[in-house]
């Protein structure tokens, strides 16, 4: 079987109250409840962060690097995504944000989207060279790449095997640093991330052995530190500064950021994980045809809606698009034309921009032995017919289908279903005490030992 994914999302049993909110929203059915606590089925999780959004007690956390790790390096580079600037009020200028980052200890600040102009050309070239695999799917969102690996393995070959903008920029930055004579072992690249999936992508990149990025910093954490510095400074007016990015680069991380610039055939942009799943199900079933390129993002409003973004996603996206309009209002001589790479730099990036093989990691792989897998599949179908198909979640699994799979895989008991329990009690195959014991195993004693009910309180 495949090794377990690295996950940035961590479940804290000491805080979990077993509310099952996380279980009910997980798009890949990666969560179960057992002994009154949420449990993660690691091979199903794609680090989309939907569970993190809904947890009412903060029992789901995001594993991140200690900010003080930057001081282990003499050259400390912040990889700054445009969506970070979009978190601040429009009156805050990019130069103020950069200056605050310098005050925090970074020696260089590099815009993540600097490599977008180069990358967009490579995407167009890739699509034209792989027209037999349409629709081709953007590799920008790591949660989507993992989603396809685990839930839609037949579509893996449709993923564009090119690095994401942050990896292209990291590649160019580390190469430039070496050219300028900075020792690579004393250089640290730190990405300011809006989501957990990008942390997982740095820790365990898909299609390559190791990321060039040294560490990842929680955007929400850094926003608060930067805002604290800016709020103490005396500010000089609110006149907008010229942007350091092209209009294409500015909105690349937003919905339609890629698809609007892929001018080959028909392109679509779909955001929010459940919308993406619905579309991919239709695509896998051959219900959708004639699409050449798909920009798929796990979060609503794409990176502006990342779980680590402190600002409102709609306001963030609006501010970023307003910056585009300001750019477009400038004369051609005033506009930013994008990062200009030398022929040598372009050749270097072209040599390293491609990803290796992206392998399926299907959650439906029941067994390595095909014959045994077929037996298990038949058993799952049989169990599904026995279960009520109401997906109540009382069994500790999100759906009746998920419970069926767990039972066949030896991870659950069919008697966990409350409907099965009642039928067995009626047929005298299960006594009440055993039924209560099973419920206690799932939901813990605390949820079943209610003093008010014991004492006969009237309602």
Counting other chains too, the contacts that 301-304 makes at CB distance below 8 Å and 24 or more residues apart are 301/254, 301/255, 301/271, 302/141, 302/253, 302/254, 302/255, 302/257, 302/271, 303/81, 303/83, 303/194, 303/195, 303/253, 303/254, 304/83, 304/86, 304/194, 304/253, 304/254
Neighbours of 134 (CB within 10 A): 18
One domain, residues 245 and 123: yes
Whether residues 52 and 74 fall in one domain:
no
Q: What is the DSSP letter of 142?
A: H
Cα–Cα distance, 392 to 337 (Å, whole number): 55
Query: Domain containing 236: what range?
Result: 67-352
Are 189 and 65 spatial neighbours (Cβ–Cβ below 8 Å)?
A: no
Dist CA 391 CA 398 (whole Å): 6
Question: Both tokens of residue 150?
Answer: 């685990």
Same domain as 90, residue 22: no
Q: With contact defined as beta carbons under 8 Å apart, do 109 and 339 qualify?
A: no
Q: Reduce the DSSP state of residue 383 to 3 states and report it.
A: helix
For residue 319, how many other CB atoms are within 10 A of its CB?
18
* pLDDT score, position 1: 42
Do 227 and 347 fall within a single domain? Answer: yes
What pLDDT is recorded for position 452?
55
Considering only 64-73, 195-204, 239-248, 419-428, which range has the smallest mean pLDDT? 239-248
pLDDT at 155 over 80: yes
Mean pLDDT rounded to a whole number for the chain: 90
Q: For residue 449, is it within any domain? A: yes
Q: What's the number of domains the chain is made of?
A: 3
* Cis geometry, peptide bond prior to residue 55 (ω within 30 degrees of 0): no
More confident residue, 449 or 36: 36
C-alpha closest to that of 184 among 165, 170, 198: 170
Bigger pLDDT: 453 or 322?
A: 322
Task: Report the CATH number that the domain containing residue 6 is assigned in CATH.
Answer: 3.30.70.20
Write the CATH number for 377. 1.10.15.40
Residue 265 has pLDDT above 80, yes or no: yes
């Amino acid at each position: 079987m495949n090794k377990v994914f690295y996950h940035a999302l961590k479940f804290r049993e000491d805080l979990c109250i077993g509310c099952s909110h996380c279980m009910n929203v997980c798009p890949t059915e990666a969560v179960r409840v057992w002994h009154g606590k949420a449990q993660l089925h690691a091979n199903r999780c794609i680090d989309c962060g939907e569970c993190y959004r809904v947890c009412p007690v903060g029992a789901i956390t995001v594993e991140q690097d200690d900010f003080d790790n930057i001081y282990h390096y003499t050259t400390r580079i912040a990889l700054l995504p445009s969506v970070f600037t979009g978190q601040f009020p429009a009156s805050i200028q990019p130069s103020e944000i950069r200056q605050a980052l310098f005050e925090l200890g970074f020696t260089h600040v590099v815009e993540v989207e600097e490599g977008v102009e180069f990358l967009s050309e490579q995407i167009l070239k890739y699509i034209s060279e792989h027209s037999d695999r349409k629709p081709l799917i953007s590799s920008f969102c790591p949660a989507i790449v993992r989603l396809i690996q685990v839930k839609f393995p037949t579509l893996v070959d449709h993923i564009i095997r090119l690095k994401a903008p942050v990896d292209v920029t990291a590649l160019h930055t580390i190469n430039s640093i070496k050219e300028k004579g900075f020792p690579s072992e004393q250089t640290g690249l730190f990405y300011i991330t809006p989501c957990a999936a990008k942390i997982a992508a740095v820790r365990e990149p898909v299609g390559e052995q190791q990321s060039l990025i040294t560490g990842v910093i929680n955007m929400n954490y850094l926003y608060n530190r930067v805002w604290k510095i800016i709020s103490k400074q005396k500010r000089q007016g609110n006149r907008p500064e010229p942007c350091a990015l092209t209009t294409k680069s500015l909105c690349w991380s937003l919905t339609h950021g890629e698809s609007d610039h892929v001018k080959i055939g028909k392109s679509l942009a779909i955001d929010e994980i459940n919308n993406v799943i619905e579309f991919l199900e239709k695509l896998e079933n051959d219900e959708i045809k004639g699409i050449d390129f798909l920009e798929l993002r796990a979060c609503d409003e794409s990176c502006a809606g990342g779980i680590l973004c402190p600002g409102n996603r709609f306001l963030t996206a609006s501010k970023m698009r307003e910056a585009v309009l300001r750019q477009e209002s400038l004369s051609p001589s005033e506009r930013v034309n994008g990062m200009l790479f030398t022929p040598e730099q372009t050749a270097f990036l072209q040599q390293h921009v491609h990803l290796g093989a992206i392998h399926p990691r299907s959650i439906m792989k029941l067994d390595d032995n095909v014959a045994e897998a077929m037996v298990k599949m038949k058993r799952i179908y049989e169990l599904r017919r026995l279960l009520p198909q109401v997906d109540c979640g009382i069994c500790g699994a999100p759906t009746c289908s998920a419970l069926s799979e767990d039972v066949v895989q030896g991870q659950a008991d069919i008697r966990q279903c409350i409907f099965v329990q009642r039928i067995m009690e009626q047929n005298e195959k299960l006594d009440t005490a055993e039924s209560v014991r099973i419920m206690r195993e799932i939901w813990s004693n605390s949820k079943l030992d209610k003093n008010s009910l014991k004492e006969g309180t009237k309602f």
